[in-house]
Amino acid sequence: MSSDAEQAPIFANRPVTLREVAAAAGVSVATASKALNGQGRMTAETRERIRETARHLGFRPNSLAQSLLRKRSFTVGLLTNDTYGRFSLPLMAGVSDALVDNGVSVFLCNVEDDQRLGQLHVEAMLDKRVDGIIATGKRIDRHLPVDLANLRIPVVYAFTQPDPGAIGFVSDDVGGARLAVEHFCRLGRRRIAHVSGPASFAVVHARAQAYRDVLAEHGLPAFEPLLGPWSEGWGHDAVARLFGGGGEPPDAIFCGNDQIARGVIDALRERGISVPDDVGVIGFDNWEIVAEATRPPLTSIDMNLASLGREAGLALLSLVGGQPAAPGIRKLPCRLVVRQSCGRPPGG
Amino acid sequence: MSSDAEQAPIFANRPVTLREVAAAAGVSVATASKALNGQGRMTAETRERIRETARHLGFRPNSLAQSLLRKRSFTVGLLTNDTYGRFSLPLMAGVSDALVDNGVSVFLCNVEDDQRLGQLHVEAMLDKRVDGIIATGKRIDRHLPVDLANLRIPVVYAFTQPDPGAIGFVSDDVGGARLAVEHFCRLGRRRIAHVSGPASFAVVHARAQAYRDVLAEHGLPAFEPLLGPWSEGWGHDAVARLFGGGGEPPDAIFCGNDQIARGVIDALRERGISVPDDVGVIGFDNWEIVAEATRPPLTSIDMNLASLGREAGLALLSLVGGQPAAPGIRKLPCRLVVRQSCGRPPGG
DNA sequence: AACGACTGGGAAAAGGTTTTCTCAGATAGG
DNA sequence: CCTATCTGAGAAAACCTTTTCCCAGTCGTT
C-alpha cells in the first residue's frame, strides 16, 4: 500500500494488452494499434495521447500475435554441428549483431553430426515459424546432417557446403593463403615451406595450390606441402622432417592452422632455431587464444568470421524480405594479422 | 504434371492448417484438435481417421497460434556474456539437450558486457514471450550487465552470480580443488604448490582455501599460493619463482586453470624437470584442446558444465511448469580427469 | 442549399489453435 | 412409454494484434 505498491502492480501482473491501452486512452483497439504503428489518420494529439498511455502502462506488443498475423516471426534458426563453437561462435556473433537491430532473435541449434537431432531441431524451428535458417558448420566442404533443400523458407549457408542452387558464404582460403605467402616474399624469405592439415579437407588443397602459385609467381622454389592432422603434435613432427633430413631447411613456414603453427614454433625453439630471425612462421585461423600464447606471438590469417556472419545474416534478411538473390558461393576476403612470428621487413 | 507434381504441392505451398485437416476428414476443427491432442470424446475410428488425415497432409500445428492461446511459447532465452563460449558453449549444449526433448527451443543472446545490448535482448525475449531465461556468464562471481530480478517469468542462473532469492547452479570449486590436491596426496607427493589466477576472482580464494585445508588435513606444508593472470605466461613465471629461489622446490603443482598449467609444464620441460616424474601437474577446467596438447597430456578438473546446463534447463522447466523451487545456490560436483601429467600411484 | 471531398475514428475479420458449452441422438431404467 | 444418463461431435469464444473497409461529421464549392 506504499507508493511502491501503487506503481509496481502495473508490471508485476500479466503483460499489458493493446485492448487495455485503448480502454485507458478512450479509443478503440484499431485506433490504438494505428497510433502506435504510425499508421492510419488521426489528430496528432490523439496519437500522442495513446502513445503516452502505452508508455505509461508499459505496453509491449505481443510478438506471438503479431507474428501470427504478419506471417513473419522475426526469428531465425542457426544450425551448426560445431560443438566447440570454434568457428560457429564468432560467426554467430556476427549474425546476431546484424539481426538484433532488426528485432530478430536467433535460435541456436547444435545438431552435432546426428541426423535425428538435426531433423528434430529443423522441425521445431519450422513449427515455430522461423523466418529463415542459417546453416553453419565446422568444415567448409561438408554438408550438415540434415536436408534443407525444399524448406519453403529461405536458407543461407555460412562456412559450410551449400546445397546446389542455394546461397553460401565462405572465406576465401586461396586469398588468405596468398596473403600469407606473399607476406613472406615481401619480407625477403626465399625458402618457404607449407605444413597443413589432412588431404581430406578441401581447404588444404586450395591453400596448397595458392602456396605453389605465389611461389611460382615470385620464381621461388616450393617445398612439397607436408600434410597431417590439425594438431600441435604434427607441427612438431613436421619440423623434424624439415630440419632433420639432409636438404636445405626453410627460412619460413606457412602453417594450415594455428595449432600446427604452435607445434612448429615450439619445436623450432627446442632445436635452438630462432623465430622469427632464422625462420618466420604464419598460422591460419587467428585463434587468439593460441596465437597470443605462442612465443613469439603468432602472425596468422583471420577468416573474418564475424563479417561472414553479418553478411549471411543480412543476406537472409533480404531474402526473407522477398528480395531475390542470385544463388552461388560468395567468398569473403581474409585478413593478415601481423604479430611477431613472421619477422619484420628487411629495412624495418 | 508428373506423379511428383501430384504429391509435392501438398508440402510445397503454405503450411497445412488444422482447418484443412478437419475439412479433409469431414469433421469440425474442434473435433480435429481434440483428436490430435488426445482430448475429448469420440469413437476410436474417428480419432484414428483424423490422425491419418493429418499425417497424410503433413499437418504440423502452428506453434505461434498454440503459444498465443496456451500462454506458453516453448522457448527459453539463454543470456551470456562469454563471447568465446569457453564456458557457455558446453553449458548451452547441456541446456539444449535437456530441453529439446520437451520441444523447447533456445534463443542464444550474447550481451557482451554491454548494458544496452543486454536490455535490448531481454526486451526482445520478453516480447517473444519466452517461458523463462537462463543467465550464464564467464565468471561465477559476477552479474550479467542486466537486471533480471522482477521479470514475471522464471530465471535460473548458471555459472554466474544469481540475484538474491533466485536459483543458481555453479560448480563446486572447493570440491574440485580438493579432488586435485587429495589426488596428489594419494600419489605420495609431499610438497604441493598452488599457482592460480588473479585475487579478484572469488574462485581463486575458494580453491586456495581448499588447497590449504587438504594439506593441513594431511599434515603437509602449504606453499603460499602464487596468484597472477590466467595465462601461460604466468605459468612460466611461476615456475621461475618456485624453482629459481633458494627454497626447496615442490614435487607437485596444482594450477588454477589449464592455460597456467600448460605454461608450467612447458617451463618445467625447459628446465629439464620431468613431468610427472619430478613434478606432477594438475590443471583446472579440463579444456580438452589445451589439456590434450600439453606434453605429457594434462590431468585436470572438469567442472561438468554440460551437466550444469542440464540441471539448469530442467530446473527452469519445472519452474515454468509451476513447481515451486527453493531459492539458493546449488553446487554441482567436479570430476578429476586423469591423464599423464600427475603421475601414477607409488605401487602403480 | 446541395453536392462532393476529406477527416478522424470505429467495427469487424483475419490469423490458427484450444477449450468450454451445448445439443441431438442413443441407451438404459422404471 | 416416459424419463434420466451418457455419447459423440459441433459452435463459438478466446488469445492479441493488424488491416480493410466503413461511417458520420465537417469543410469548401457552386
Domain ranges (residues) in chain A: 3-61, 71-171+305-331, 173-304
Identify whether the C-beta of residue B77 lies closer than 8 Å to the C-beta of residue B106: yes
Q: What is the pLDDT of residue B50?
A: 95
Q: Report the percent of chain B where pLDDT is more than 70.
A: 95
> Within a 10 A sphere around the Cβ of B122, how many other Cβ atoms?
22
Residue B348 — very low, low, confident or very high, per pLDDT cuts 50/70/90? low
Q: Does A113 touch chain B (CB under 8 A)?
A: no
- pLDDT value at A6 more than 50: no
Helix (H, G, I), strand (E, B) or coil at A123: helix
Query: Which residues of B fall within a CB distance of 8 Å from A92?
Result: 108, 110
Strand C proximal residues, A:11-70, Cβ < 7 Å: 26-31, 40-43, 46, 65, 68-69
CB atoms closer than 10 angstroms to residue B123:
12
Interface of B with A in 129-168 (CB under 8 A): 129, 150, 152
Radius of gyration, alpha carbons of chain A: 27
Q: What is the pLDDT of residue A12?
A: 43
Q: Which residue type occupies B52? A: E
A254: β partners: A194, A282
Coil, helix or strand for A303? Answer: coil
Tell me: pLDDT of A69 over 70.
Answer: yes
pLDDT at B279 > cutoff 70 = yes
Q: What is the rounded distance in angstroms from the CA atom of residue A19 to the CA atom of residue A4?
A: 25
List B residues 220-259 in contact with A (Cβ-Cβ < 8 A): 231-233, 259
Contact A189, A252 (CB under 8 A): yes
Q: Of A62, A103, A293, which is closest to B129 when you measure between CB atoms? A: A62
Closest by Cβ to B106, choosing from A13, A96, A107: A107
At B205-242, the pLDDT tens digits run 999 999 999 999 999 999 999 999 999 999 999 999 99
| Distance of alpha carbon B167 from alpha carbon B314, whole angstroms | 12
**DSSP structural state of residue A36:** H
Question: Which strands form B155-158's sheet, in the order they lie side by side?
Answer: A328-332, A167-171, A155-158, A132-136, A75-80, A105-110, B105-110, B75-80, B132-136, B155-158, B167-171, B328-332
What's residue A198's pLDDT? 98
Alpha carbons A82 and A87: distance in angstroms, whole number:
7
Matching fold, domains B3-61 and B173-303: no
Cβ of B126 near strand D (distance < 7 A): no
| pLDDT value of position B3 | 39
Q: Are A222 and A211 in contact (CB under 8 A)?
A: yes
CATH class of A3-61: mainly alpha
Angle between helices A29-37 and A44-57 (to 10 degrees): 90
Scanning A222-286, the segments in alpha helix (DSSP H) are 232-244, 258-270
| Residue A5 touches chain B, beta carbons under 8 Å | no
Cβ-Cβ contacts under 8 Å, B305 against chain A? none
Nearest to A267 by CA among B233, A338, A246, A275: A275
Q: Kindly report, residue by residue over B79-135, the tens digit of the pLDDT.
A: 999 888 889 999 999 999 999 989 999 999 999 899 999 999 999 999 999 999 999
pLDDT, average across residues A177-185: 98
Question: What's the pLDDT band for B145 if we cut at 50, 70, 90?
Answer: very high
Task: List, as ranges, residues 27-56 from A with C-beta within 8 Å of B.
Answer: none
**With 0-12 CB in 10 A as exposed, 13-18 as middle and 19+ as buried, what is A167?**
buried
Q: Which residues of A touch B109 (CB under 8 A)?
A: 96, 105-106
Average of per-residue pLDDT across B19-33: 95
Residue A348's pLDDT is 58
Mean pLDDT of B8-34: 82
pLDDT of residue A13: 65
Q: Does the pLDDT at position B346 exceed 80?
A: no
Q: What is the mean pLDDT of residues A298-327?
A: 95
Q: pLDDT tens digit string along A194-219?
A: 999 999 999 999 999 999 999 999 99
pLDDT over 90 (residue B280): yes
Residue range B71-171+305-332 forms a domain whose CATH class is alpha beta
Look at A302-311, B55-64, B84-93, B191-200 and tell me which has the smallest mean pLDDT: B84-93
Reported as type and span, the H/E element at residue A131 is none
- Give the distance, in angstroms, between residue B12 CA and nucleotide C18 C1': 27
* Percentage of chain B exceeding pLDDT 90: 84
Considering the four listed CATH numbers 3.40.1640.10, 3.30.1180.20, 3.40.50.2300, 3.40.1080.10, the one that applies to the domain covering A71-171+305-331 is 3.40.50.2300
| A271-277: average pLDDT | 96
Chain B 264-323 residues whose Cβ is under 7 Å from strand C: none
pLDDT 10s digits, A70-129: 999 999 999 999 888 889 999 999 999 999 989 999 999 999 899 999 999 999 999 999
Interchain proximity A128–B11, CB inside 8 Å: no
CATH topology of domain B173-303: Rossmann fold (3.40.50)
Contacts of B63 in chain A (CB under 8 A): 127-129
Q: Is B213 left (phi over 0), alpha (psi -120 to 50) or beta?
A: alpha
Q: Is the pLDDT of residue A3 over 70?
A: no
Q: What integer is the mean pLDDT of B255-284?
A: 97
Q: Which of A289, A292, A305 to substitute to test the interface with B, most B CBs within 10 Å?
A: A289
Mean pLDDT of A243-272: 95
Tell me whether residues A63 and B110 touch, CB distance under 8 A. no
A220-231, pLDDT tens digit by residue? 999 999 999 999
Distance A23 CA to D27 C1' (A): 31
The CATH number given to A173-304 is: 3.40.50.2300
Query: Which cell numbers in the block locate residue A259?
Result: 595449432
- pLDDT given at position B5: 34
**Nearest-Cα residue of chain A relative to residue B293:** A232
According to the model, what pLDDT value does residue B344 have? 86
Per DSSP, which regions of chain A are E strands? Answer: 75-80, 105-110, 132-136, 155-158, 167-171, 192-196, 226-227, 252-255, 280-284, 299-302, 328-332, 335-337
